[in-house]
Chain A
Amino acid sequence: MRQRTGGSGAALSMPTLASFSIFFLLLGLCALGYYFGELVNLAGWDALRWDVFYGVHDVQRLFFLAPIIYAGYVFGTRAAVIATILAASIMVFRALCLSPFAGALARPAVFVAVAGAMGLLASRAHSEREKRQLVKSLRVAQRDRMLISLLEALGEGALMTEPDCQVRFIGPNLLREFGEGISSNCRSFMHRPQGTRPGNGEPIDTTDDAIERWEYDSPNGRTYEVLVAPYVAADGAPCRLAVFKQPNPIHSAGGARLGQCSSDALPCRTGPDDSACS
């Protein structure tokens, strides 16, 4: 059995470099806003001596919710704890050295407790969501494996194609018949010249959700009955699964339901202009 790699894996999402940058940027901006009044005094920017920079800093403290919740959501519990500690340290330094108000530690303490809890809740919510997605994708991948194993056990040939007509999976029976062909165009893989229009082998039903039945005359002279069905793969890609029944006296089976098809009939159904597989 051959399968294209990277298509049906299930993994936890990893934060990117941009995520780390955003976190540190948010934290830096919050710290800057928290000490902006002192910066204005130090630099002598008299035009910026606004009252809001010299109050109890409740508004500025609220800004710290952004990095704490962001860290919890994107990175996890540990990051939420670290962000909360860093935010608390920034606030405590002000309470210790700069604040003229009595009991300057009480308000930051309350805020930090609430913000930390929010960060932890955000990380919890995100990890629960990720776990659910992981379980779902594993379940779908398991379904794929079971289906393919079943088809193989029945002795049928199986072929899965992607929306762009690339071959994603080939069962061993077809592998013996056609050779390697993962990631190749399904038309070239099945020895059909690209770009030619199907002749009398048009699928019976051309709606997207329909199951199609064809006859396929392979270049080696065998005739297969092909059953093609839409199939959502483990990674969510809308693929098409083709089951090739072993060569048999097919002309008596199926009767009028079967479309007559030479090697033109392929699992990647195309429109009238055949553009999807070109």
Chain B
Amino acid sequence: MREIEWVLDHIVPLLVLSLLHWILALMLLEDLKRRERILGGRKWPWAVVIASVAILGSVLYLVCHPGVLLDPNKKK
């Protein structure tokens, strides 16, 4: 019983957090792939930061490239 509680208290939030991280990361990586101009000029460091630094890497990318927030039809 205690093991189940421990799983619910620790593993489930961790899974949720990683799920959120990857949803956000995939959205941003897709944007990174399409983007022509990028801060720093190279894409791969940003890809590493977004994928490996959970949430904070994505936030950093968002702050540096706020155009990600716009819908594709608004960007045109």
| Interface residue A96 (Cβ < 8 Å from any Cβ of B) | yes
How many residues belonging to A are interface residues under a CB distance threshold of 8 Å? 28
Specify which chain B residues have a CB less than 8 angstroms from the CB of A71 in the assembled complex: 69
Q: What's the Cα separation between A276 and B20 when bound, in Å?
A: 61
How many of chain B's residues touch chain A, expressed as a range?
A: 20 to 34
* Shortest Cβ distance from A109 into B: residue: B16
State A96–B13 Cα separation when bound (angstroms).
6
Using A75-B70, A76-B74 as known contacts, say yes or no to A95 and B27 having CB atoms under 8 A apart: no
Of A77-85, A144-152, A232-240, A255-263, the one contacting chain B is A77-85
Give chain A's interface secondary structure class: helix
The answer, yes or no, to whether A153 is at the interface (CB within 8 Å) is no
B62 within 8 A of A: yes
Contacts of B63 in A (CB 8 A): 24
Question: Is A44 in the interface zone, CB < 8 Å from B?
Answer: no
Residues of B within 8 A of A79 (CB): 69-71
Contact A76 B21, CB 8 Å, known A92-B16, A96-B14? no
Q: Are A85 and B24 in contact (CB under 8 A)?
A: yes
User: Residues of A contacting B23 with CB < 8 Å?
Assistant: 85
Question: Contact at B74–A12, with CB atoms within 8 Å?
Answer: yes
Partner of A75, one of B14, B16, B71: B71
Other than the given A71-B69, A79-B70, 9 more pairs (CB < 8 A) read A15-B69, A76-B70, A76-B71, A76-B74, A77-B71, A85-B24, A92-B17, A93-B17, A105-B16
Residues of A at the B interface (CB closer than 8 Å) are: 12, 14-15, 20, 23-24, 71, 75-79, 81-82, 85-86, 88-89, 92-93, 95-96, 102-105, 109, 127
